[in-house]
Chains A and B, each alone.
Chain A
Amino acid sequence: MSSPQAALGTLAPARAPSRWRSLVTQESVATLAASLVVAAAVLLPLATLIVSSFLVMDRSGFDAHWGLDNYRALVFDRIIPKAFVNTLVISTGATVLATVLGVSLAWINARTNCPWREGLEPFNLIPFFLSPFVGAIAWHNLAAPKTGLLNAWARDYLGVQGHLLNVDNIYGVIWVTGIFFTPLVYLFVVGSLRRMDPALEDSARTTGAGLLRTTLTVTLPLVLPGILSGAIIVFVTSAGEFGVPFKLGAPYGWETLTTQIFSKAVGDDANHYLGATMAMALGAITAVFVWIQQRVIAPRAFTTVTGKGFRPNVVDLGGWKWVALGYNLVFILVAVVLPILCLFVVSLHPVWEGGIIPRDMSFRNYQKVLFFWSPDSIQAATNGIFNSFILAFAGASIAMVLSLVVSYMIHRTKGFGSRLLDFLCVVPIGFPGIVLAMGVLVVYIKTPIYATLWILLLGYITRFFPYGQRNVSAVMLAISEELDQSSRMAGASWLTTLRRITIPLLKPGIFAGWLLLFIIFLRELSISIILYTTGTETLSVGVYYLVNFENEPLTAALSIAQTVVLLACVVLFRRIAGREALTA
């Protein structure tokens, strides 16, 4: 064996560096390329919307001239201001409902001795993964005055005259929206509660504060940033929600900004300049809120996370634990079980008249919406299944690659470029899908990607890649920069380091992000509804088509199909990505 000194041997002379080749490194080229791509994808549609808002459509509908009439219409039109007010009311109501439910469920789950609480958690999260549009359809069939299943039972078994519940109004919209977005608040709060250092509460207890006082003066204030973040996200997401008001609000007289934007964009009173103006107005509002959440509230999420594993305090509820369990079970029943059951029952009937008629039941509707080879299949529905899977698969993959690159740029490089990218990543979150889709439509209508799956793909990725990026960032932040640096010192180029060190370590984040995006894309409606055409329908568009042109049972059948697929993905997601993988 040679001695260490001899082993040192002779070194190859270092290659002298070339002049300013250093500027054009692999890293800087990739950063620039990524920034340009993201900037184009995100800013171009928004810029086009702004420009469009100053174009006023002529009576013929073919020409347009510059003017401020669109903005005047925002204020003076008969319907739009009311739609605006309705949107605010719905958002506020849904936020309140979701916050109350979310915080209470989170507290029960993270901090009490409620029985079976670990098993209950996945069920609490299911509404997040399903389509709120489908939820609205289900609730319509549960609680519409004449045809609702619950009302029928109330009439038959409780002797109620007329109807007990009516979900076909603004309250119905608030109800469904609130329930479906409860998991958003839940996730924010439950994470905070679980990771809180028990010493923070213990020290309060040692000074003499009882449980209630500790909870109110220590626990809740520390969790408040999480609650506020969740609430804002729910507010913003509700404002941008299209499916629920479309089903339960607009037909019964309650228009919202999203249903009006839809009408103006591609619907029946088509005036996409006015649609752009409204989209901008909606976008401006949501963007402001999201900015507040990102820059003002999230940084204040006090560092209660120390990284050391420990068990947080658990409150003994005594006999009340059964009440807590009941509460949680009722939530799951109402939010998940009841709607799915109802949809299933309705889907088995050829025509739905409000009552269960066993002799009418069959699976024929499933045949019509799923069996694309069958002669009486409905094209819009069967197309949707294929297209949604293709879009979800391709979209999630492309979006994750983009997320990876962007996350790396943001967290591993310094300077103006990374700050710009950070900002660009928040922008799409601030704009509802319908707004972004409008922009995408107007920008790309003259290009070859119009009326193909590509334009849908573009819309999806632009809107949702920040979600993938956040998953990756969360893991990346936990990985010390030194792991990359030591690879560089060992002689690996930037690209090799990315390939052999960074990406393998990020695998959990990458996979979690991919699956989350897959699910989001499968159930996406707002973007699809603006950008689809024959042949490029998606699952949700198929449901929309059935709502418009076919009857409730067929709609229910496709809705159930979509729900089953989404649930299967959720199970897979939890199994592979683990408990803490959902980052909001």
Chain B
Amino acid sequence: MTVVNAAGTVAAAGAAPYLEVRGLVKTFGADRAVDDISFTVPKGKFLTLLGPSGCGKTTTLMSIAGLHRLDAGDIRVGGTVFTSVADGLFLPPEKRDIGMVFQSYAIWPHMTVAENVAYPLAIRKLDRAEIDARVDEVLRLVGLAAMAGKLATQLSGGQQQRAALARAIVFRPRLLLFDEPLSNLDLKLREQMRVELKRIQREVGITSVYVTHDQAEALVMSDEIIVMSKGRIEQRGGPHDIYARPLNRYVSNFIGVANLLEGRVARVTAPGRGELEIRAGGERIQLPCRLGEGVAEGAAAVLSVRPENVQAAREHRSGPRLEGEVIETIFLGNCVDCRVRWGGFEWKVLAHPRAALRPGERVYLHLDPEHSLAVQP
């Protein structure tokens, strides 16, 4: 099973890296789309490349697939070199045995579902009986057995997605790549498919790399997440780590919602614990918090607190006096999103509906030091 080590990376006991990516560089003109990316993925694990558009995640994925050529770097799968710019080696995409699910599904409209799924097997010249058996098996796996004879145009978005997945795994690829496959689906379907995809991947056990800009998706599906920005890796870790212990402001902001305030480490009280002085438009306060990686005494740092870890109350209970005015309340059904102004900063607080906070009220904010993190700016 998995072991979470101190660095926060996921490693299966005794697992050697299956996909190795080293020193990837890809430039388009003057723009460095991928700027020295390196990572490895153990066999059977699910890695997500997460980031906004333009961060280089899709380019990285395409390079692994062999659909893009690199300016520098190595890609190795199961010990075999797929790309090595330094050695002048490049294996064309059709020879890599990599399954890929595209954003638009790319189901061929002039063939039926069964023909689409059978295509990779026909290319590999399997005999008819074998093809039929495998197609049947895989369609059953994705839940499309009944749609085998239908044309792609007759399928809904979600069904096309499953068909694309079926096609990608039917030839038992060594690696599975996903390029934002769920972004064209509507919300409910997306949530459903996330779980489905993960289930299938786990059942079949193929090493997978998944690209998305949706952090909720990444959190749900991944064994490990790499957060990318401007062609570089910001942080790598399991979903829980990334969420609870973001490395810097960027990651904090990208994953989930966070209150982010600039400040300075006033003092260190214990290993990984200290006090952060923050200020916002005239107000300043010192708050006890945990110290993230690379945050030292006296250094500039950013306070990162999730809205669910901020309590708002009409009376002050204990700790630093953080007093503010409720600007706005947004009813979300199961909780209320409150905005509280403190100095020049608007705190985001998730309150219980029964607290019945109203705009204009003065409230006190209480932060749990265990869940307040000072991160790199």
Contacts and interface: CB of A to CB of B under 8 A. Distances in A.
Interface of A: 1-2, 4-5, 7-9, 11-20, 22, 25, 480, 482-483, 485-494, 496, 500-501, 504-505
B65 A489 contact: yes
Given A485-B106, A491-B123, A17 B100 contact: no
Interface in B218-275: none
Interface in B68-85: 77-78, 80-82
Given A4-B141, A8-B205, A491-B171, A13 B80 contact: yes
A493 B123 CA distance: 9
Nearest to B99: A489
A267 B110 CA distance: 53
B98 interface: yes
Contact of B167 (A25, A486, A496): A486
B20 to A, nearest CB: 14
A501 B119 CA distance: 10
Given A486-B167, A491-B97, A14 B91 contact: yes
Contacts of B177: 489
Interface residues of B, number: 46
Given A7-B172, A8-B204, A489-B100, A15 B106 contact: no
B106 A17 contact: no
A22 B92 contact: yes
28 contacts: A7-B204, A11-B172, A12-B97, A14-B78, A14-B82, A14-B91, A14-B95, A14-B97, A15-B91, A17-B92, A22-B91, A25-B92, A480-B106, A482-B102, A485-B67, A485-B100, A485-B106, A488-B94, A489-B94, A489-B99, A490-B119, A491-B123, A491-B124, A492-B119, A492-B120, A492-B123, A493-B92, A500-B119
A478 B101 CA distance: 20
Contacts of B67: 485, 488-489
Interface string B183-220: 00000000000000000000111100000000000000
B102 A486 contact: yes
Contacts of B110: 504-505
B69 to A, nearest CB: 8
B104 A19 contact: no
> Which 6 A-B residue pairs are closest in the complex by CB-CB distance?
A490-B120, A22-B90, A17-B91, A482-B106, A486-B106, A489-B100
A546 B284 CA distance: 100
A17 B310 CA distance: 56
A25 B92 CA distance: 9
A493 B91 CA distance: 12
Interface in B39-98: 65, 67, 77-78, 80-82, 87-98
Contacts of B96: 14, 489
B174 A496 contact: no
B174 to A, nearest CB: 5
Contacts of B104: 480, 482
Contacts of A493: 92, 94
